[in-house]
Amino acid sequence: MNGDTLGRREQNKERTRRALVQAAGRLFDEHGFEATTVRDIAAAAGVGERTFFRYFPSKESLVLQQARELIPILQQAVRDRPAAESGYTAMRNAVLGLLDIYGTAPAVLTSGSSMRLHPTSRGDRYLLFDIEEAVNTAILDRFTSAGADPAAPGVRLRASVQARAGVAALRAIRAVHPTSGGSGSAPADTAALVREAFAALEGLPPSSR
């Protein structure tokens, strides 16, 4: 088998994997996570169930893999926000930017209990920790760029608190609005909830939603 054949095979695999992820996202939005089956996802992607299981052990693992792939993207988005923004503001605007691109922010909005994920590996079990650490690193980098000493305990504590509080605010959206980002929820609706969650962190009065 020559290199061209191998290259085409890998491209076909990636197309199939991407089709499954995109089909799952559409169905989760339309029907919700719990109501969507592996058979539904496979059919929407134009493949059989056996093909689905060659790529993902379960629909939960599909979501977890998508979340993991988004972690470094979220981290860089926080890092790249304007220097004048606070840690909370940078994280909020980074998430809103991902909503504009993807229509949702899987890495942070699907890690809540409403998904009822059943992790099967250490990497899956530590997904939330890894999200927090990625955001923590990005916020600490922002402090360093502003002239703070990244080794100073106070600086590290501030970055850690802001990162973990920001992720908790996003997870709280799922706790209060379990269908946000799914079951037909529009990206604009989720964006409004993200803004409200971060306003709560800053002690602003709640809206009448």
- Tell me: the pLDDT tens digits for 168-190? 898 888 778 765 554 445 556 78
Q: In angstroms, how far apart are the furthest CA atoms of the chain?
A: 65
Give domain status of residue 209, yes or no.
no
- Mean pLDDT of all residues in the chain? 82
Q: In whole angstroms, what is the distance from residue 110 CA to residue 115 CA?
A: 6
pLDDT classification of 118: cutoffs 50, 70, 90? very low
Using alpha carbons, select from 68, 36, 21, 38 the residue that is nearest to residue 13. Answer: 21
Q: What mean pLDDT is predicted for residues 72-90?
A: 93
Give domain status of residue 1, yes or no.
yes
Residue 26's domain spans which residues? Answer: 1-56
160 touches 136 (CB < 8 A): yes
Using the predicted structure, report yes or no on whether residue 208 has a pLDDT greater than 60.
no
Q: At which of 24, 40, 56 does a domain end?
A: 56
32: amino acid identity, one letter: G
Q: How many separate domains does the chain show?
A: 2
Give domain status of residue 87, yes or no.
yes
Residues 26 and 93 in one domain: no
Residues 113 and 27 in one domain: no
Residues 178 and 103 in one domain: yes
Residues 72 and 41 in one domain: no
Q: Is 184 left (phi over 0), alpha (psi -120 to 50) or beta?
A: left
162 touches 137 (CB < 8 A): no
Using alpha carbons, select from 3, 16, 176, 166 the residue that is nearest to residue 93. Answer: 166
Give how far Cα 61 sits from Cα of 37, 52, 200, Å: 13, 11, 32
Give domain status of residue 207, yes or no.
no
